[in-house]
């Protein structure tokens, strides 16, 4: 079955530190891959997406993600975290076309001063 | 653009009552999605419309749930009768293209439903 796994439920980092959020997918072929962010009380907002081509994808708010086919991973990174990055982050995947998007269970990021 | 609009933002009702959630997608978007988010089950797709036609309703929990999209600018999700286990945040999202699975989805702010 198609699935998206985010192994870390909760992560705490210090402001200014680097961040990496993990995401693994299980699909028959390389899916379309997404990272969304949800701030408290808000809907989800797209950070970045990967369809094909360059495996390092740049997104908004200084985030980037790297697609690694051999590891079935699409990890999200940021070199220096800001307090405003505290939110919940969702990895998602789809086979495209009329296939639905499958979301991971989310990773809640806490940023400490 | 106003983004995806959902109403009401909060709904508190009693078990057995009918609940109707409303969504106005972004103008020009062809696909509309209804999701439910809970602590236990995370974010679940309930139903997905393309050009006002339901494409995938496999996530609709049971017959108590129904969704309609009478035109390109309006959709409803109805629960009748409501039960306490329906308490959740319900999100509506829309996307521009017909390829709902490949396109960016724009989410509304959600409706927080509490069934007592």
The pLDDT confidence band at residue A25, using thresholds 50, 70 and 90, is very high
Considering only CB atoms, B42 lies closest to which of A95, A96, A105, namely: A105
CB contact under 8 A, B4 and A101: no
pLDDT recorded at residue B99: 62
Contact A43 B45 (CB under 8 A): no
Residue B26 and residue B1 in contact, taking contact as beta carbons nearer than 8 Å: yes
Q: Which residues from A are below 8 Å from B when comparing CB atoms? A: 32, 34, 36, 41-46, 49, 51, 90, 94-101, 103-106
Residue A97 pLDDT more than 90?
Answer: no
* Residue of B45, B50, B101 lying closest to A95 (CB–CB): B101
Q: Could you tell me the pLDDT band of residue A41, with boundaries at 50, 70 and 90?
A: confident
Q: Which of B30, B38, B59, B105 is the best substitution to test chain A (most A C-beta atoms within 10 A)? A: B105
Helix (H, G, I), strand (E, B) or coil at B85: helix
Mean pLDDT over A24-50 rounds to 92
CA distance B99 to chain A (A): 4
Residues of chain B with pLDDT under 50: none
What digits encode the pLDDT tens for the residues B47-63?
Answer: 999 999 998 899 998 89
DSSP assignment of A49-94: EE-SS-SEEE-GGG-EEEEEGGGTEEEEEESS--GGG-EEEEEEEE
Tell me the count of A-B CB pairs closer than 8 A: 58
Backbone angles phi, psi at A69, to 5 degrees: -60, -40
- Residue B100 has a pLDDT of 59
Residues of chain A by 3-state class (helix, strand, coil), percent to 5: 10, 50, 40
> What is the distance in angstroms between the Cα of B17 and the nearest Cα belonging to chain A?
25
């Amino acid at each position: 079955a198609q699935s998206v796994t985010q192994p870390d439920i909760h992560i705490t980092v210090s402001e200014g530190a680097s961040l990496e959020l993990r995401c693994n997918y299980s699909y028959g072929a390389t899916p379309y891959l997404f990272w969304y962010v949800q701030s408290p009380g808000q809907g989800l907002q797209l950070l970045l997406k990967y369809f094909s081509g360059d495996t390092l994808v740049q997104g908004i708010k200084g985030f980037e993600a790297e697609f690694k086919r051999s590891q079935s991973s699409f990890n999200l990174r940021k070199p220096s975290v800001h307090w405003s990055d505290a939110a919940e982050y969702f990895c998602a995947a789809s086979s495209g076309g009329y296939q639905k998007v499958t979301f991971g269970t989310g990773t809640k990021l806490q940023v400490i001063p | 653009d106003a983004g995806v609009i959902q109403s009401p933002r909060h709904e508190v009702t009693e078990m057995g009552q009918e609940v109707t959630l409303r969504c106005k997608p972004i103008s020009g978007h062809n696909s509309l999605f209804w999701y439910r988010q809970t602590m236990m089950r995370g974010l679940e797709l309930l139903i997905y419309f393309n050009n006002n036609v339901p494409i995938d309703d496999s996530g609709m929990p049971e017959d108590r749930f129904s969704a309609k999209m009478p035109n390109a600018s309006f959709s409803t999700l109805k629960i009748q009768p409501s039960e306490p286990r329906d308490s959740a945040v319900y999100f509506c999202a829309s996307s521009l293209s017909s390829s709902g699975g490949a396109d960016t989805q724009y989410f509304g702010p959600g409706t927080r439903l509490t069934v007592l």
